Chains A and B, each alone.
Chain A
């Protein structure tokens, strides 16, 4: 049984930790709190104490285990090869089983468990969001009018007037396509950053790739997983697998670090014991690619001919760089583009502090971590920040806005789209 279903099974991972504390050097939370409970070593020893009956499932433990960005920097830096992210998520799942989810989370996740209800809600939200959100002049960003679960200082990207899936045709076919892919948009590109979603389709078409967008697809489910709601996570995983098994394609494409992690790593591990779904999950895992990865490794990028004359810096989303090891591919694309200067910031792979809903539940801490990132971005003085994740993009937009800097944040696909569009003129 998976350790996400039975905590005892994480013991082999726990025992590997030699408590050296090397994780302190890279943990963004520890850098802020300086507390041992913030860092992987402390959490691993708490997990051990929990298994040995020295600690019990309670509110305090849940609070301490919520303080993790799942940025995986500790795992990357661990001399013993421990995966603290798995231990922490296994404890969160056990906490959810033993103590139940917070009532608000339970309500939100029960909606997430129903794709049609969720879709209806998001579409309605796009119409009514003006009641709660006030637009920032001249930018597609908004402040909350009331503290509607959002910090009043924060700016977010409002929902797009129309979702990507309803706006684009199901089949987007260039002449003589060489490949056929299914686009898993993820929520951020479907409901908020439809500009990036359109760019993905456009760029893939320009590279001779036919793009199908299965309309029934749903959230990847990772937001429920990181809060320990395994039953909803599994339900969503199976649902998406069913939707994509119906299609015929060479690859599943995402442009989000978390979505790609769901397909490549998490669906197979959630469903490893499921007689019906284990094989399907593995099959689709082998077909899932990040947008940049597919262009570089499978298609061979069609180099834009026109120069853009722009200086950019690239932010690595945690789940893309450490989750599935995609770091060189986006840079290869940027370096192949004429007139694009890539100015690397210090530690481009350090977490931006968003961690999805962490930025809602822990805005203060999230902002402190984000401000370090913003500082690193500003130090290279770019014309634009490029990334490959909607949650990172929203966090970086907020960070830059707070400093008054007028630097746009774009998905990688958008920069490529600009270059190809310039060619056409």
Chain B
């Protein structure tokens, strides 16, 4: 428990309405969107409304060595915002202004509490888009998605969050404010601190302002659904499309288990006998789209794919409804949905899918896999029930093996969800001793008292 004195200091800075201390309210910040995580109560929940207030909160925390857990909308999938060691949870949702849209220089300046979709709506008037589009685009905050380096469906062609953050304002663990990066396309002044803070999961500093890059909205787009009787044919199509010099905006895959579940739930006419389907969209100038569409059709047909082309906007919407239904459909099968994001090089997708099938068989679990085939980022989704202790043990073993398999294939632990507390124990498998040591040095340099999101990514006490 925090002393009355600390609560009073916080209240003096933020006002009563921005300091919550009753346990009913605090219980609502003891979890996030991650399945199978312990809950832990904060001692206090605060909502600063400007950078100066964030500084003062951090100063109070630093002086008293109290942990600060920064939180956006709490939609992350790594246990990243759970206040493991209690202390202060700082919600950034009230700092939600779009400060500037600079259409001429193709950028925007936003506060961390802005919802991604709200930014997209605001820049659409200028014919621009902010491409990163995680599944939580309508709920997640910009601050949260920068801190987690969110990905999404358009990663293959457009990249991920880190490719769009140009500059940041950050409150450091000592309460001081620093700025890095800016509005210029080119910037090699000193270390690339912007890239360091993007994806740092609230462990190195607190993001209070973000400058993002915008791009012109593509003029046209064309979508396809290709179904395959064998995984190899689907995989050869993925590599074939890219080998023919086409980079689709989206290139998504669903395995048979997912297809069947989605069809059962949404009745959108998916081929339930297919081993895999690919959902493909190319976008850009009309001439380019026409040419790329031809190439996609050719590759899929050469690899024995059954192709369906969305001719109208309505058909396109139907097609993407199927993709959007993947997670909800799987989630409705059982009470607990463990969603992973193991990622492999694109060419290793068939091997990874086969490994997942074997793991599911070995541990007698239901695993549906879908994901971003174009960038190798798969979402094996384990359908289980957290009340079933024996099954959860099998789930944990399966998860261990999934990460082993991904690393063996030259992949990574996390494509887009981050490490948080959910994947900490696997970190050394990928980073090895020297790598973890380097991570620890960085953490120690920027947060010597270990007050920023302690217990996440790397544990200094461990």
Of the stretches B324-332, B439-447, B449-457, the one at the interface is B324-332
Interface contact A18-B35, CB-CB below 8 Å: yes
Q: Which residues of A contact B435 (CB under 8 A)?
A: none
- 0/1 string, B64-80, CB within 8 A of A gives 1: 00000000011100000
Interface contact B28-A37, CB-CB below 8 Å: yes
Interface contact A46-B24, CB-CB below 8 Å: yes
Q: Which residues of A contact B385 (CB under 8 A)?
A: 15
Interface contact A55-B73, CB-CB below 8 Å: no
Q: Is B23 an interface residue (CB 8 A)?
A: yes
Interface contact A16-B335, CB-CB below 8 Å: yes
Q: Which of B25, B29, B33 contacts A64 (CB 8 A)?
A: B25
Q: Which of A25, A49, A54, A81 contacts B139 (CB 8 A)?
A: A25
Q: Is B438 an interface residue (CB 8 A)?
A: no
Interface contact A19-B31, CB-CB below 8 Å: yes
Report the bound CA distance from A193 to B294 in whole Å.
63
Report the bound CA distance from A64 to B24 in whole Å.
8
Interface contact A55-B31, CB-CB below 8 Å: no
Q: Which residues of A contact B24 (CB under 8 A)?
A: 37, 46, 55, 58, 60-61, 64
Q: Which residue of B lies closest to A20 (CB)?
A: B33
- 0/1 string, A75-97, CB within 8 A of B gives 1: 00001110000000000000000
A153 to chain B, nearest CB (A): 22
Q: Is A114 an interface residue (CB 8 A)?
A: no
Interface contact A45-B331, CB-CB below 8 Å: no
Q: Is B408 an interface residue (CB 8 A)?
A: no
Report the bound CA distance from A49 to B23 in whole Å.
11
Q: Which residues of B contact A36 (CB under 8 A)?
A: 28-29, 74
Report the bound CA distance from A165 to B183 in whole Å.
70
Q: Which residues of A contact B27 (CB under 8 A)?
A: 45-46, 49, 54-55
Q: Which of B34, B328, B386 contacts A79 (CB 8 A)?
A: B328
Q: Which residues of A contact B328 (CB under 8 A)?
A: 79-81
Report the bound CA distance from A24 to B115 in whole Å.
11
Interface contact B138-A34, CB-CB below 8 Å: no
- 0/1 string, A341-372, CB within 8 A of B gives 1: 00000000000000000000000000000000
- Give chain B interface residues in 15-33, CB to chain A under 8 Å: 20, 22-25, 27-33
Q: Which residues of B contact A21 (CB under 8 A)?
A: 33, 73-75, 136, 139
A98 to chain B, nearest CB (A): 15
Interface contact A35-B387, CB-CB below 8 Å: no
Q: Which of B25, B138, B327 contacts A25 (CB 8 A)?
A: B138
Interface contact A37-B25, CB-CB below 8 Å: yes
Report the bound CA distance from A80 to B22 in whole Å.
29
- Give chain A interface residues in 28-42, CB to chain B under 8 Å: 34-37, 42
Q: Which residue of B lies closest to A39 (CB)?
A: B28
Given A15-B387, A20-B136, residue A46 in contact with residue B331 (CB < 8 A): no
Q: Which residue of B lies closest to A17 (CB)?
A: B335
Report the bound CA distance from A19 to B27 in whole Å.
13
Report the bound CA distance from A61 to B26 in whole Å.
12
Interface contact B33-A18, CB-CB below 8 Å: yes
A76 to chain B, nearest CB (A): 13
Interface contact B93-A34, CB-CB below 8 Å: yes
Report the bound CA distance from A16 to B387 in whole Å.
12
Interface contact B136-A34, CB-CB below 8 Å: no
Report the bound CA distance from A46 to B30 in whole Å.
10
Interface contact A19-B33, CB-CB below 8 Å: yes
Q: Which residues of A contact B73 (CB under 8 A)?
A: 21, 24
- Give chain A interface residues in 49-65, CB to chain B under 8 Å: 49, 54-55, 58, 60-61, 64
Q: Is A22 an interface residue (CB 8 A)?
A: yes
Q: Which of A18, A22, A49, A60 contacts B336 (CB 8 A)?
A: A18
Q: Is B47 an interface residue (CB 8 A)?
A: yes
Among A25, A64, A79, A80, chain B packs the most CB atoms within 10 A around the CB of A79
Report the bound CA distance from A15 to B336 in whole Å.
8
Interface contact A34-B47, CB-CB below 8 Å: yes
- Give chain A interface residues in 131-189, CB to chain B under 8 Å: none
Q: Is B420 an interface residue (CB 8 A)?
A: no
| B interface bracket (residues with beta carbon within 8 Å of A) | 35 or more
Interface contact B139-A24, CB-CB below 8 Å: yes
- 0/1 string, A2-29, CB within 8 A of B gives 1: 0000000000000110111110110000
Q: Which of A15, A18, A35, A81 contacts B25 (CB 8 A)?
A: A35
Q: Which residues of A contact B31 (CB under 8 A)?
A: 19, 45
Report the bound CA distance from A49 to B31 in whole Å.
12
Among A18, A49, A64, chain B packs the most CB atoms within 10 A around the CB of A18
Q: Is B337 an interface residue (CB 8 A)?
A: yes
Q: Which residues of B contact A46 (CB under 8 A)?
A: 24, 27-28
Report the bound CA distance from A64 to B20 in whole Å.
13
Q: Which residues of B contact A24 (CB under 8 A)?
A: 73, 139
Interface contact B331-A18, CB-CB below 8 Å: yes
Q: Which residues of A contact B331 (CB under 8 A)?
A: 18, 79-80
Q: Which residue of A lies closest to B89 (CB)?
A: A36
Report the bound CA distance from A60 to B93 in whole Å.
23
Q: Is B248 an interface residue (CB 8 A)?
A: no
- Give chain B interface residues in 312-332, CB to chain A under 8 Å: 327-328, 331-332
Q: Which residues of A contact B387 (CB under 8 A)?
A: 15
Interface contact A15-B94, CB-CB below 8 Å: no
Report the bound CA distance from A16 to B333 in whole Å.
10
A305 to chain B, nearest CB (A): 35
A34 to chain B, nearest CB (A): 4
Q: Which residue of A lies closest to B91 (CB)?
A: A34
Q: Which residue of A lies closest to B71 (CB)?
A: A36
Q: Which residue of A lies closest to B76 (CB)?
A: A21
Report the bound CA distance from A60 to B26 in whole Å.
12
- Give chain B interface residues in 323-354, CB to chain A under 8 Å: 327-328, 331-332, 335-337
Report the bound CA distance from A55 to B27 in whole Å.
9
Q: Which residues of B contact A81 (CB under 8 A)?
A: 328, 332
A425 to chain B, nearest CB (A): 44
Q: Which of B23, B28, B34, B335 contacts A15 (CB 8 A)?
A: B335
Interface contact A20-B75, CB-CB below 8 Å: yes
Q: Which residue of A lies closest to B23 (CB)?
A: A55
- Give chain A interface residues in 295-311, CB to chain B under 8 Å: none
Report the bound CA distance from A19 to B73 in whole Å.
11
A418 to chain B, nearest CB (A): 36
Interface contact B23-A18, CB-CB below 8 Å: no
A28 to chain B, nearest CB (A): 15
Q: Which residues of A contact B327 (CB under 8 A)?
A: 79
Q: Which residues of B contact A35 (CB under 8 A)?
A: 20, 25, 28
Interface contact B75-A34, CB-CB below 8 Å: no
- Give chain A interface residues in 212-267, CB to chain B under 8 Å: none
Report the bound CA distance from A79 to B136 in whole Å.
12
Q: Which residues of A contact B22 (CB under 8 A)?
A: 60
Report the bound CA distance from A275 to B155 in whole Å.
59
Among A20, A21, A22, A55, chain B packs the most CB atoms within 10 A around the CB of A20
| Contacts A18-B33, A60-B25 supplied; 11 other A-B pairs, CB < 8 Å | A15-B385, A20-B33, A21-B139, A36-B29, A37-B24, A37-B28, A46-B27, A55-B24, A58-B24, A79-B327, A80-B328
Task: Jot down 19 A-B pairs with beta carbons below 8 A, ordered by A.
Answer: A16-B335, A18-B33, A18-B35, A18-B336, A19-B31, A19-B33, A20-B75, A20-B136, A21-B136, A22-B139, A24-B73, A25-B117, A34-B113, A35-B20, A46-B28, A54-B27, A64-B24, A79-B327, A81-B332
10 closest Cβ pairs, A-B complex: A79-B328, A42-B28, A36-B28, A25-B138, A15-B335, A34-B93, A21-B75, A37-B28, A24-B139, A80-B331
